Amino acid sequence: MTNARTRTGLLAAAALAGVLGLTGCGGDDDTAAPAAESPASTTPDSQPPASDPQPSASESGGEDKDAAPATEADSGSADAGLPRSDCTAPGLKVALVAKGSDMNSAYYDLQVTNTGGRCAVRGYAGLSLLDGGGKQIGKPATRSEDGHGVGNVVLDKGDSAHAVVKTPGEGVTGGDCAAKPAKIKVYAPGNTEAVTSTGTAGIRVCGGTLTVGPLSTAFPG
C-alpha cells in the first residue's frame, strides 16, 4: 500500500515537471517573436522620402524659354537692313528735268526723290501728262530700255532715282505735237497712289510717242 502511494506521488511529480517544462518553452517562443518582426520594421526607412523634390516639366521648360531670345537675335541676315521697292507716294516728290535733244528725240530726266525715311525703288515708274483741269493728255508713257537697266535703288532722305523719258522731236513729226502739260502724274514702282508735280520742264509729246526707262541711281552721262 505504501509502495503504491509512493509510485503515485512520483508520477504526479513527474507530470507536474513536464507541465512546467512546456510552459518554459512557450515563454522562450514569445520573447523570440519580436526579433523576427524587426527586419520588417526597417522597410519604410529604406524608401526615399515622399517629399524629396523632383525636377518638373515646367521647370525644364523655363530653361528653354530663357534661350528663345538668342534664337530670335540670330535670325537677322546681312540683307535685313536693305529695303526693296518700298518707297510710297506720301514720302516722294517728282519732277522732269530737260536733258537736251538730238536730231530725232528730246530727252528728260524723271527724278523720283525720297523725302522720308530710307526706302528703295526697283523697276519702272508710271508716267502721264495732265492739262490744267487734271485731264490726261494722250496716252501714258510706254516702257523702254533707255538708261542703266533695272536694279534696286536705295534712297536715303533727299536722294533721287532717275529714269530716261523720251519723245520724238518736233522736226521728226512735222510739228504733230500735243499741248504742253500743266502737271506730270507719276506712280512709283509698286504704288497705287500717284504723285503729281508742276515740274514738267516744258515737255511736249510729239508723234503720240512718250517712253520711260527703268529707274536707276543716275541719269546716263
Please list the pLDDT of the chain residue by residue as tens digits (221 residues). 444 444 444 444 444 444 444 344 444 444 444 434 433 333 444 444 444 444 333 333 333 333 333 222 233 334 445 456 799 999 999 999 999 999 899 999 999 999 999 999 999 999 999 999 999 999 999 999 999 888 999 999 999 999 999 999 988 888 899 999 999 999 999 999 999 999 999 999 999 999 999 999 999 98
The secondary structure element, H or E, covering residue 140 is: none
pLDDT value for 118: 96
* C-alpha cell of residue 84: 526693296
Radius of gyration (C-alpha) of the chain in whole angstroms? 53
Q: The whole model's pTM is what?
A: 0.63
pLDDT value for 73: 28
Which residue from 116, 89, 97 is spatially nearest to 162, judged by alpha carbons? 97
Burial class (CB in 10 A: 0-12, 13-18, 19+), 194: middle
